[in-house]
Amino acid sequence: MRTIEAIGDLQECLKHYRNQGKTIALVPTMGSLHEAHLQLVDKAKTFADVVIASIFVNPTQFAPREDFDEYPRNPENDQKLLEGRGVDILFLPNIAEIYPANQISDYDVGSIGALLCGVSRPIFFNGVAQVVARFFDIVEPDVAVFGEKDFQQLKIIKQLVERQKRKIEIISLGIVREGDGLAMSTRNKYLSDSERSVAPSFSKILRQAKSNYENGLAQEDIISRAKKSLGDLFELDYFEILDANTLTQITTSSTDVIIVSAVKLGVTRIIDNIVFRRLNV
């Protein structure tokens, strides 16, 4: 695995691969890697000849009182994990490399960014779109791979590619979970031992909501029960049952459903979702 910090060096390396007719996959990360990140790499390898993983903690998606400075960083271990998984290039830029003084972005993700996580994190998705667009400009990948845990983010990235008419295939990977059902996340490292024992209840409550939905319980009752259960254990941000294709209210023409929620446990924000096909559609 080759580690590259400068954009010019990376692009020169990519030019060499492209001259050989090889396809490029990008796996963007913020580091402090876990198994879910590594499975993104595994998936990328099935879609392209060369896999680039990036590690960059993006400041533009953090609000002033959020955890940018405290966000877990472990670059040496990350490099070992990526090399062990067969990554070809690790792109490890600094902030000045990604956001030089003359670099501006006026991209607005629009109304989808004001829903769900966007209510409590109003700058988050514009910051995500800014950095993803920047990485797409630098790498010009054929394929980019993202996880489905951040489902709203995934939809926004797909929308960005469509709006900007980029020739990039966006591949998604289903949520990777711990043995007790907790969705893998870098921020899980913030959980104390007692909080970690409570955290799996989050996914259990979402699974119960799915069961209730498929058994025909009225949606208002499902939401009421889930919010009560979540509120007993967590600080609830939101809980919604929506059309998975539009992130709007379910209609008679909706084919796929998402049950999506965000909570806080102590200082740790946790998100999760379940996407499933509607019965009898």
C-alpha dihedral (66, 68, 72, 76), degrees to nearest 10: 170
Q: List helix spans (H) across the chain.
A: 7-19, 35-45, 75-84, 95-98, 117-120, 124-139, 151-163, 193-198, 201-214, 219-233
Q: Is residue 37 among the annotated active site residues? A: yes
The CA-to-CA distance between both ends of the chain, in Å, stands at 48
* DSSP 8-state code for residue 187: G
Axis-axis angle for helices 219-233, 201-214 (nearest 10)? 170
Which among 32, 37, 57, 185 is annotated as catalytic?
37
Amino acid letter, residue 145: V
235, 264 Cβ separation under 8 angstroms: yes
Phi, psi (degrees; rounded to nearest 5) at 66: -90, -175
Burial state string for 196-224 with b = 16 or more CB within 10 A and e = fewer than 16: beebbbbbebbeebbebbeeeeeeeebbe
**How far out from the chain centre does Cα 80 lie?**
22
Please list the active-site residues.
37
